[in-house]
Amino acid sequence: MARQSVSPQITANILEFVRTNQMRAGEHLPCQMLADAFRVSRAPVNAALKKLEMMGIVRAEPNRGYFLAVDAANVEAAKPAGEPQREEEDPLYFRIAEDRLAGKLEERVSENELMRLYDVARSRLLKTLHRIAEEGWIERLPGNGWAFRETLTSRQSYEEGYVFRAVIEQQAMLLPTFRPNEDEFRKARAVQTALVEGGYETWSRAEIFKANNNFHEMLVACSQNDFFLDAIKRINRLRRLIEYHITIDRSRLPRQTSEHLHILDLVEAGRRTEAAAFLYTHIMGASRIKTPQV
Amino acid sequence: MARQSVSPQITANILEFVRTNQMRAGEHLPCQMLADAFRVSRAPVNAALKKLEMMGIVRAEPNRGYFLAVDAANVEAAKPAGEPQREEEDPLYFRIAEDRLAGKLEERVSENELMRLYDVARSRLLKTLHRIAEEGWIERLPGNGWAFRETLTSRQSYEEGYVFRAVIEQQAMLLPTFRPNEDEFRKARAVQTALVEGGYETWSRAEIFKANNNFHEMLVACSQNDFFLDAIKRINRLRRLIEYHITIDRSRLPRQTSEHLHILDLVEAGRRTEAAAFLYTHIMGASRIKTPQV
DNA sequence: CATTGCATTTTATGACTACAATATGTAATT
DNA sequence: AATTACATATTGTAGTCATAAAATGCAATG
């Protein structure tokens, strides 16, 4: 048993790429271009394309490479047929998170203990633990073992997180370096509009959540300050974990989405201060409504 | 060859503990208490105390434990005699940082490559790389290898960092949950006063830098919001790395220190808004002065 | 009764090997 | 000139073992 491959992830990436670029059947998919986009070599890209060929999404032409077989709009439909409902991403990560949230894991744990419990190799466990450490809800102790932090389990830190997000995003928008990116704004508008026009009833929870996060991260990215962007990305990864445990309240989505569109309007109209203030209340509002469920 | 011990680190911790608590000769140093304070078991604490006994800083009494042999003020003097100038903390970390700053390391590096280059075991390398990843200046690629980010090397991100700090610290102080901690304020005042009264000429660069960081982290900690505190801690770790490469300008220290004291005054007088605004310009001012040297 | 001192258990690192996945160089194709 | 197809080189993960360090249980001490 060697390592687990990245090519499944690449497969998903290609599908997303095709969709967000709204590509049409027959368009060429150059191998090197995809490899660069996903920061891997051509090897896993080829493996992914081979899989997609079997799924009927791309067509291979000898010595010319792979070509999209269906329009982007129809890729969606072709996907669930071939593979399980949703690819797993990192099962170990979620198992640890669930067990911690359920109180099945003590505050202090040793690596050996976790290896036995989840029956995984040390290297795999460490990879996941370090990922968790980056998200800030576990830390390595100086001697042996790891200690969970309260970030995940306490109600208070959940609210602190919303305050942090609201402040960071508002301030990012007020920075002198903030400059709306026309291209990204257009794409964001398209996604939010798709959500309003029925998407919020059919999209999966993960897709809705991702669209939401992308919107906010796109806004912060316009500040041109990587520290603000990194801070938001980090807390969003954390949020995803917690909010997966909350039954999504789809009735709130239309309002949320229209608020997003309103923010885009304000920024494009040059009313930045207003937009920032509105953004702040938008985020804090989301917190107030959801917390009773936790 | 097994792993490297944490007890040298514990030795340093005990010395710092004795100093910041201004303990006097003869005071008892309970083993379990120290172990709890540093989040390790009694084993490495005992090892550290044994070393300190040989250095003449503590005295062992059979079946009663260890007792401080000199006053906290004199610990300083006793230290450099026994051991090398400064304990290394993590040589690998600094070697990688130096080599990256000097342009000796490409943007993309593989683990094997680094293992050969620095002649360390994979586990040790990974530990350090993950630490660096947490600080945000390297990231794991999806396939093989790691990629350095621009955070360290670009002039722009250096300035972005100052903007981030200024905003975060100011906003932290303006949070409704902000509550000055009397104890910490008193200690901070003592340290800053010691600096003014000559400390800035005799203290080592590392000590001055640490005192500075502690001051700012203490302020943010008063916001009672861990996300703000974590963000500041993360960027401070990064700052330390870069500023170690700048010859410290000791002539600026008196002004910096008096500004710190001024901030404490304003907060204690309940003039929070003024304090926050002053804090903002204090940080941005530091940036403007230093950048020409980079 | 808290704390030490010591014996015992448990832990994590280093070193080695095997191998599938990833990365890359190069000739052939359009 | 860009891209593919294939062959080759390199990488990182998993597994196992030995061992020093860290954690822990408990009788002895003050």
Question: What pLDDT is recorded for position A19?
Answer: 85
- Determine the distance in angstroms separating the CA of A73 from the nearest CA of chain B, rounded to an integer: 27
Interface residue A37 vs chain B (CB under 8 A): no
Same-domain check for residues B220 and B244: yes
- Determine the distance in angstroms separating the CA of B188 from the nearest CA of chain A, rounded to an integer: 26
| Chain A residues within 8 A of B177 when measuring between CB atoms | 163
Average predicted confidence (pLDDT) for chain A: 88
Interface residue B39 vs chain A (CB under 8 A): yes
Query: Does A18 fall in a domain?
Result: yes
Q: Strand, helix or coil at A64?
A: coil
A246 pLDDT band, cuts 50/70/90, is low
Whether B47 CB is under 7 Å from strand D: yes
Interface residue B157 vs chain A (CB under 8 A): yes
Q: Which among B78, B101, B116 is the end of a domain?
A: B78
Tell me the percentage of chain B whose pLDDT exceeds 70: 90
Query: Does A84 fall in a domain?
Result: no
Interface residue A284 vs chain B (CB under 8 A): no
Same-domain check for residues B277 and B230: yes
Segment B149-192, tens digit of pLDDT: 998 788 888 899 999 999 999 999 999 999 999 999 998 998 89
Q: Which CATH number characterizes residue B177's domain?
A: 1.20.120.530
Same-domain check for residues A53 and A72: yes
B288 pLDDT band, cuts 50/70/90, is low
Mean pLDDT score, A8-21:
90
* Token reading at A215: 């919107």
Whether B5 CB is under 7 Å from strand C: no
Q: Given a cut of 80, is residue B34 above it in pLDDT?
A: yes
Q: How far apart are CA A231 and CA A221, in angstroms?
A: 11
Q: How far apart are CA A142 and CA B9, in angstroms?
A: 9
- Determine the distance in angstroms separating the CA of B28 from the nearest CA of chain A, rounded to an integer: 24
Mean pLDDT score, B12-34:
91
User: For residue B244, which phi and psi values (nearest 5 degrees)?
Assistant: -60, -25
Segment B252-278, tens digit of pLDDT: 888 889 999 999 999 999 999 999 999
Q: Which among A148, A173, A190 is the end of a domain?
A: A148
Query: Does A21 fall in a domain?
Result: yes
B1 pLDDT band, cuts 50/70/90, is low
**DSSP code of A63?**
T
Question: What pLDDT is recorded for position A80?
Answer: 45
Q: What is the CA radius of gyration of chain B?
A: 21
Residue A201 CB burial class (10 angstroms; 0-12, 13-18, ≥19): exposed
Same-domain check for residues A169 and A278: yes
Question: What pLDDT is recorded for position A242?
Answer: 80
The distance (Å) linking the CA of B48 with the C1' of D25 is 22
Mutation to test the A interface, candidates B164, B171, B239, B284, most A Cβ within 10 Å: B164
Asked if the Cβ–Cβ distance from A39 to B141 is below 8 Å, we say: yes
Task: Identify the residue whose tokens are 């709890």.
Answer: B36
Tell me the percentage of chain B whose pLDDT exceeds 90: 63
Question: What pLDDT is recorded for position A76?
Answer: 65
Same-domain check for residues B40 and B97: no
Query: Does A261 fall in a domain?
Result: yes
Mean pLDDT score, B214-241:
95
Q: How far apart are CA A232 and CA A195, in angstroms?
A: 23
Query: Does B278 fall in a domain?
Result: yes
Query: Does A237 fall in a domain?
Result: yes
Q: Given a cut of 50, is residue A293 above it in pLDDT?
A: no
Average predicted confidence (pLDDT) for chain B: 88
- Measured between alpha carbons, how far apart are the two ends of chain B, in Å? 41
Same-domain check for residues B100 and B191: no
Same-domain check for residues B118 and B137: yes
Q: Which among A37, A57, A78 is the end of a domain?
A: A78
Segment A35-86, tens digit of pLDDT: 999 999 999 999 999 999 999 899 999 889 999 998 877 776 555 444 443 4
Segment A261-280, tens digit of pLDDT: 999 999 999 999 999 999 99
Q: Beta strand B28-29 with B58-61: parallel, antiparallel or unpaired?
A: unpaired
Same-domain check for residues A167 and A286: yes
B285 pLDDT band, cuts 50/70/90, is confident
Q: Strand, helix or coil at A105?
A: coil
Same-domain check for residues A130 and A228: no
Query: Does A225 fall in a domain?
Result: yes
Whether B112 CB is under 7 Å from strand D: yes
Mean pLDDT score, A21-31:
91
- 3-class DSSP string for chain B: CCCCCCHHHHHHHHHHHHHHCCCCCCCEECHHHHHHHHCCCHHHHHHHHHHHHHCCCEEEECCCEEEECCCHHHHHHHHHHHCCCCCCCCHHHHHHHHHHHCCCCCCEECHHHHHHHHCCCHHHHHHHHHHHHHHCCEEECCCCCEEECCCCCCHHHHHHHHHHHHHHHHHHHHCCCCCCCHHHHHHHHHHHHHHHHHHHHHCCHHHHHHHHHHHHHHHHHCCCCHHHHHHHHHHHHHHHHHHCCCCCCHHHHHHHHHHHHHHHHHHHCCCHHHHHHHHHHHHHHHHHHHHHHC
Task: Identify the residue whose tokens are 């040297």.
Answer: B293
Q: Between A and B, how many CB-CB pairs are < 8 A?
A: 83
| Chain B residues within 8 A of A39 when measuring between CB atoms | 141-143, 147
Asked if the Cβ–Cβ distance from B133 to A136 is below 8 Å, we say: no
Total number of domains constituting chain A? 3
Same-domain check for residues A184 and A106: no
- Measured between alpha carbons, how far apart are the two ends of chain A, in Å? 41
Q: Which CATH number characterizes residue A139's domain?
A: 1.10.10.10
Residue A61 CB burial class (10 angstroms; 0-12, 13-18, ≥19): exposed
Q: Strand, helix or coil at A65?
A: strand
Question: What pLDDT is recorded for position B254?
Answer: 86
Q: How far apart are CA A208 and CA B132, in angstroms?
A: 32
**DSSP code of A39?**
T
* Token reading at B42: 């009694």
Distance of CA B282 to the CA centre of its chain: 20
Query: Does A139 fall in a domain?
Result: yes
Q: How far apart are CA B175 and CA A168, in angstroms?
A: 13
Q: Given a cut of 50, is residue B83 above it in pLDDT?
A: no
Flag whether the pTM goes above 0.75.
yes
Long-range contacts of range B150-159, CB-CB < 8 Å, 24 or more positions apart? B150/A226, B151/A226, B151/B238, B152/B97, B152/B100, B152/B101, B152/B238, B152/B241, B152/B242, B153/B100, B153/B101, B153/B103, B155/B291, B155/B294, B157/A226, B157/A227, B158/B242, B158/B291, B158/B294, B159/B287, B159/B291
Q: Given a cut of 50, is residue B82 above it in pLDDT?
A: no
Question: What pLDDT is recorded for position A113?
Answer: 96
The distance (Å) linking the CA of A183 with the C1' of D2 is 28
Question: What pLDDT is recorded for position A206?
Answer: 79
Question: What pLDDT is recorded for position B204?
Answer: 78
Same-domain check for residues B131 and B222: no
Q: Say how many CA atoms lie within 13 Å of B184 toward its Cβ.
A: 14
- Positions on chain C within 7 A of a protein C-beta: 2-7, 10-15, 18-25, 29-30
- Determine the distance in angstroms separating the CA of B123 from the nearest CA of chain A, rounded to an integer: 9
Question: What pLDDT is recorded for position B77?
Answer: 53
Mean pLDDT score, A188-204:
83
Q: Beta strand A58-61 with A108-109: parallel, antiparallel or unpaired?
A: unpaired
Same-domain check for residues A183 and A273: yes
From residue B30, alpha-carbon distances to A181, B13, B34, B48 in Å are 60, 14, 7, 13
Question: What pLDDT is recorded for position B22?
Answer: 83
The distance (Å) linking the CA of B277 with the C1' of C9 is 56
Tell me which residue range forms the domain holding A101.
Answer: 91-148
Question: What pLDDT is recorded for position B110?
Answer: 97
What residues have CB less than 8 Å from B37, skipping those under 6 apart?
B13, B17
Instruction: Name the residues in B127-146 having a C-beta closer than 7 Å to nucleic acid strand C.
Output: 127, 141-145
Asked if the Cβ–Cβ distance from A226 to B160 is below 8 Å, we say: yes
Instruction: Name the residues in A187-206 having a C-beta closer than 7 Å to nucleic acid strand D.
Output: none
A174 pLDDT band, cuts 50/70/90, is very high
Long-range contacts of range A179-186, CB-CB < 8 Å, 24 or more positions apart? A179/A222, A179/A224, A180/A222, A180/A267, A180/A268, A181/A218, A181/A221, A181/A222, A184/A218, A184/A221, A184/A222, A185/A218, A185/A264, A185/A267, A185/A268
Which among B40, B147, B161 is the nearest to A227, CB-wise? Answer: B161
- Positions on chain D within 7 A of a protein C-beta: 2-7, 10-16, 18-25, 28-30
Question: What pLDDT is recorded for position B270?
Answer: 94
Task: Identify the residue whose tokens are 């003024």.
Answer: B274
Question: What pLDDT is recorded for position A290?
Answer: 52
